[in-house]
Amino acid sequence: MTSLRRALIALAVLALALGLASLALILSSEHVSPRGLAATLTLLAGWGFVGTGLFAWDRRPGNRTGPLLTAIGFTWFFRALEASNNSVVFTIGALGLTLPYAILIHLLVTFPSGRLETRLQKSLVGVAYFITVLMQGAWLFFADPAREGCESCPQNAVMIGDAGIGEAISTGQALLAIPLIAATVVAVHRRWRRSSAGERRALTPVLATGGLAFVLLLTQLTVGQAGAEDVAVVPFVAAFAVFACLPFAFLIGLLRSRIGRDEEIRSALTAENVQLTAELRKMVEELRASRARIVEAGYAERRRVERDLHDGAQQRLVALTMNLRLARDRLAADPEGTADLLDEALEELAAATSELRELARGIHPAVLSDRGLDAAIGGLADRSPVPVDVLETPDGRLPESIESTSYFVIAEALTNVARYADAARATVRVAQTNGVVEIEVRDDGVGGADPEGGSGLRGLADRVAALEGQFEVRGEAGEGTTVRARIPCG
Amino acid sequence: MPTSVLIVDDHPSFRASARRMLESNGYAVVGEAEDGAAALSAVKALRPDLVLLDVQLPDLDGFEVATRLDAAGECPAIILTSSRELSDFRAAVAESPARGFVTKGELSGETLAALTE
């Protein structure tokens, strides 16, 4: 059982006990009349408000309607103390006579959230508590029950002064309460008119019952102020009866406001949806950009291959053709010159062969497919102008795409080491652990590489990202550079 | 008097082979240029009879160099050359003031003579 539910059960037991105590007080009262009606209405209102309040509190712990309803119920038992024949208890009870109405205004203008949000809500509720707590407290010091028509009431235990002041305060309370209640009724009506059909389902039972109770109370106060105390009893009893029904109206309204809660959930879902959509859109943008870069890198690679072929092997072969043709023409007339031409042709041929080999390796290293990453990395290390220590390579073969990407990461990183790092040594490590291949190329050079700077590094990052891996280049100036890629592997 | 020739190409190995081929076929190679701008000023200074002009140069391409030479009233015979084939450039060669085009692999005394006759 949750601690909230335990507390709610304790409150229910307390309300039960206070209700019985109130019943005893009222039935034994010498000044309450008629006792039966007063006791019935007190129990109906007290237990009704506490019961529905606790139920609402339990069902909607984050909503303040439950606590407010419960509070009204307890004030009802508080004001029942006024039925006591003991002077002190009677006086304490008199302090709480008007309090339920203030909490009811609080509840009514803030339903269904129970939270004071607008300035109008705060003003109405502030004035209500001012009348029912501060003014009521002040009134108590000057109130004379006998003078107010209750001969059988006990003495006011805290009476300190002129009963005339008490009457004046009482009149002041009524004169403030009339516009307050009128404003509350207007505010509630306006609120209802502006609500959507779904909201009205929750608001109607509450606002109609509450509004009716206050209209009746307003009538009673107005008629009472006009001096017709006897006539005022009728609307007072009616208001009291409507008041007793109010907690059930709140309960119906609160349960119906589930619709409102659905809307809260829907709006939260919508917000989450919007955020997810934005994230998704960003990811799609990134994917689109990286796809475009990969395609562009493919074209750039082709242009490079074409240029390398054109400027390298092709030029050598053109020169070779011309030299061979010349040698053929000169063969008879100038055998010595022809031998020189042929030597030159052989040199061109060797250079062309070497350039074609390099080019082919740049497109795809055959050794990688034939003998695996370990042999291919060995070749890269051998050809690197900067001494390279190969610290670790995986034992078996890896999927082709991973071997290939690992190879090009290492090749590009070592090329950068040779070109820019001014390093004395470099290390290469490829480790396969927990389904991840981690590739690391580290040098002891000048550092300060910018991962966004070169198309080579960005191309590598895209290649690694295409395999759902991560790529990073680290190295503050003066601390060497570390290129690291992590690629998930089956 | 032998025909004077300017070789324009950005690859030194080609320039060397072309010079040797031309000279052994009785041409007088009066100069070499490695890009379009150098070619324009070399033609002005050297007044060659023939320009062996590579199509792909680092700055201007061979067609542009030929057009500018023509516009400037320079009138050496221009032979365009490339390691690519004529089919890659046919329309551009036809519109060019150049005398003709020969693929580098087929460059020889005879092909050159046939184009310049």
- Asked if A318 lies within 8 A of B108 by C-beta distance, the reply is no
Residue A437 to residue A177: CA distance in whole angstroms: 78
Domain housing A317: 291-363
pLDDT score of A444: 92
Q: Which residues of B touch A (CB under 8 A)?
A: 11, 13-14, 16-18, 20-21, 24, 56, 83, 104-105, 107-108
Chain A residue nearest residue B25, CA to CA:
A326
Domain annotation covers residue A261:
no
Chain A residue nearest residue B57, CA to CA:
A311
Same domain, A194 and A98: yes
ipTM, two decimals, is 0.77
Structure tokens at A260: 């409102």
pLDDT digits (tens, 9 = 90+) for A360-388: 887 888 888 888 899 889 989 988 999 99
Between residues A263 and A442, the one the model is more confident about: A442
Between residues A208 and A233, the one the model is more confident about: A208
Same domain, A379 and A484: yes
Mean per-residue pLDDT of chain A = 85
Sheet holding A482-488, edge to edge: A388-392, A426-433, A436-443, A482-488, A470-474
Domain annotation covers residue A244:
yes
Same domain, A30 and A91: yes
Q: Are A465 and A408 in contact (CB under 8 A)?
A: no
Between residues A237 and A85, the one the model is more confident about: A85
Domain annotation covers residue A269:
no
Sign of CA dihedral A365, A369, A370, A372: positive
Q: Kindly state whether A325 is in contact with chain B, defined as any CB-CB distance less than 8 angstroms.
A: yes
pLDDT digits (tens, 9 = 90+) for A21-48: 999 988 888 888 778 888 888 888 899 8
Domain boundary among A320, A344, A363: A363
pLDDT score of A452: 64
Q: Kindly state whether A348 is in contact with chain B, defined as any CB-CB distance less than 8 angstroms.
A: yes
Domain annotation covers residue A307:
yes
pLDDT score of A111: 78
Which among A163, A149, A72, A69 has a CA at the least distance from the CA of A111? A69
Query: How many independent structural domains does chain A possess?
Result: 3
Same domain, A326 and A386: no
Structure tokens at A142: 């000057």
Residue A234 clears pLDDT 90, i.e. is over it: no
- Asked if A315 lies within 8 A of B83 by C-beta distance, the reply is yes
Q: Kindly state whether A231 is in contact with chain B, defined as any CB-CB distance less than 8 angstroms.
A: no
Residue B42 to residue B31: CA distance in whole angstroms: 7
Chain A residue nearest residue B107, CA to CA:
A322
Contacts of B83 in chain A (CB under 8 A): 310, 314-315, 318
pLDDT digits (tens, 9 = 90+) for A36-81: 888 888 888 899 899 988 988 888 777 888 899 899 999 989 988 8
Integer CA distances (angstroms), A358 to A302, A308, B115, in order: 15, 10, 38
> Mean pLDDT, to the nearest integer, of A149-171?
82
pLDDT digits (tens, 9 = 90+) for A110-146: 877 778 888 888 999 999 999 999 998 888 888 887 7
Residue A165 clears pLDDT 90, i.e. is over it: no
Same domain, A354 and A406: no
Rg of chain A, C-alpha, whole Å: 46
User: Which one of A314, A315, A326 has the shortest CB-CB distance to B21?
Assistant: A326
DSSP three-state, residue B99: coil
Domain boundary among A256, A279, A302: A256
Residue A141 to residue A135: CA distance in whole angstroms: 10
Q: How confident is the model at residue A227 (pLDDT cuts 50, 70, 90)?
A: low
Q: How confident is the model at residue A229 (pLDDT cuts 50, 70, 90)?
A: low
pLDDT score of A263: 63
Q: Which of A317-321, A456-460, B50-54 has the highest mean pLDDT?
A: B50-54
pLDDT score of A406: 93
Residue A163 clears pLDDT 80, i.e. is over it: no
Q: Which of A101-115, A280-294, B46-60 has the highest mean pLDDT?
A: B46-60
pLDDT score of A403: 92
Please give the helix or strand (H or E) that residue A99 lies within, else none: helix A99-110
Same domain, A320 and A231: no
Q: Are A16 and A36 in contact (CB under 8 A)?
A: no
Share of chain A above pLDDT 90, in %: 18
Query: How many independent structural domains does chain B possess?
Result: 1
Q: How confident is the model at residue A411 (pLDDT cuts 50, 70, 90)?
A: very high
Residue A232 to residue A217: CA distance in whole angstroms: 9
Strand partners, A246: none
Contacts of B56 in chain A (CB under 8 A): 310
Structure tokens at A125: 């509720």
pLDDT score of B54: 94
Domain boundary among A301, A335, A363: A363
Domain annotation covers residue A263:
no
CATH code of the domain covering residue A236: 1.20.1070
Residue A410 to residue A241: CA distance in whole angstroms: 87
Residue B49 to residue B45: CA distance in whole angstroms: 12
Please give the helix or strand (H or E) that residue B82 lies within, else none: strand B77-82
Same domain, A220 and A101: yes
pLDDT digits (tens, 9 = 90+) for A334-345: 888 888 889 888
Q: Kindly state whether A303 is in contact with chain B, defined as any CB-CB distance less than 8 angstroms.
A: no
Residue A304 clears pLDDT 90, i.e. is over it: no
DSSP three-state, residue A86: coil
Same domain, A339 and A436: no
- Asked if A325 lies within 8 A of B108 by C-beta distance, the reply is yes
Amino acid at A144: D
Domain housing B56: 4-116
pTM over 0.95: no
pLDDT score of B40: 94
Residue A2 clears pLDDT 60, i.e. is over it: yes
pLDDT score of B48: 94
Give the pLDDT means over successive 10-residue stretches in chain B (117 positions): 92 90 92 94 93 92 92 88 84 89 87 85
Q: Kindly state whether A340 is in contact with chain B, defined as any CB-CB distance less than 8 angstroms.
A: no
Same domain, A299 and A357: yes
Q: Select the residue from B9, B10, B13, B52 to test the A interface by mutation, using most A Cβ atoms within 10 A.
A: B13
Same domain, A359 and A375: no
Domain annotation covers residue A138:
yes
- Asked if B104 lies within 8 A of A322 by C-beta distance, the reply is yes
Between residues A226 and A352, the one the model is more confident about: A352
Chain B residue nearest residue A312, CA to CA:
B11
DSSP three-state, residue A84: coil
- Asked if B83 lies within 8 A of A321 by C-beta distance, the reply is no
CATH code of the domain covering residue A470: 3.30.565.10
Domain annotation covers residue A246:
yes
Please give the helix or strand (H or E) that residue A117 lies within, else none: none
Domain annotation covers residue A419:
yes
Q: Are strands B100-103 and A388-392 parallel, antiparallel or unpaired?
A: unpaired
- Give the lowest-confidence range in A267-276, A425-434, A463-472: A267-276
CATH code of the domain covering residue B12: 3.40.50.2300
DSSP three-state, residue B52: strand
CATH code of the domain covering residue A346: 1.20.5
pLDDT digits (tens, 9 = 90+) for A173-202: 888 888 898 898 888 888 888 877 777 777
Residue B103 to residue B81: CA distance in whole angstroms: 5
- Asked if A316 lies within 8 A of B17 by C-beta distance, the reply is no
Integer CA distances (angstroms), B104 to A307, A321, A325, B52, B84, in order: 17, 9, 12, 10, 8
pLDDT score of A264: 67
Same domain, A177 and A140: yes
Q: Are A269 and A74 in contact (CB under 8 A)?
A: no
Same domain, A69 and A201: yes
pLDDT score of A125: 92
